[in-house]
Structure 1
Amino acid sequence: MTRYAAGAFKNYASRQPNIQAMLNSKLSGHPLMPFAPVLQTVLARTSAGPLLEGTVGVHLRRALELGEGNLVLEAHAIWPAIHVLLPEVFDGALRLQLETLGALPAWAKSSTDHLAYSYE
């Protein structure tokens, strides 16, 4: 998803021709359903955010509704790893610092940055 946000999509996860088809197929087929909160956060905090307005957003909302406690929430062990892998997305203080310095990468910018992250 970050490659898509950076403007270069190469699908290594499936045979789908674009990111929308890939995410829709994976979310509707349930393999990624538990990761809906993670995916929603990545999309909301990057330039890929407009995907949330289409069918990807519909599938993510459905996955969140159907999760019934089986979601990878912030208390899950995977979140610290994701914070390390994508600090520009998940570290609110770093995002603010990079944004203030004009150094936030273009792929990590969203049109709602002031709403999309907290100042931790």
Structure 2
Amino acid sequence: MYGYLDSNYLATGYVTTKTDVYSFGVLLLVFLMRREAVDRNSGHEELTKDPKLNVSDGQIQIETIADRKILEEVRGDEQAQQQLKDFLALVLLCIQLKTEAGPDMIDVAKELVRIEKSILP
């Protein structure tokens, strides 16, 4: 469970509707990076604390985040690359430190559907 809990919950012990959004965002990040939420080999470093996710200008490149196998699958397919970028943007909204400013789960679900439909003929 550690690694999936947002800092607001850890600080207050209160569960909000945004607590699940954060945890779901971590799960999506696990899928995207193909890494565990907590790296037990590096002193329990949390995936959301990965320095690649903290870019000051807000321009995080999908190529530095996504697993290499995922990137290989979308290489040359502009629609799939855009879908992957939209997926990363959604993940970053879900795992932001100020969880109360994040999206509601219904909005996350709607965005996932929009992303899925964006590549369908």
Q: Tell which has more relative contact order, 1 or 2 (C-alpha 8 A, sep 6+).
A: 2
Settle same-fold status: TM greater than 0.5. Answer: no
TM-score, with length taken from structure 2: 0.25
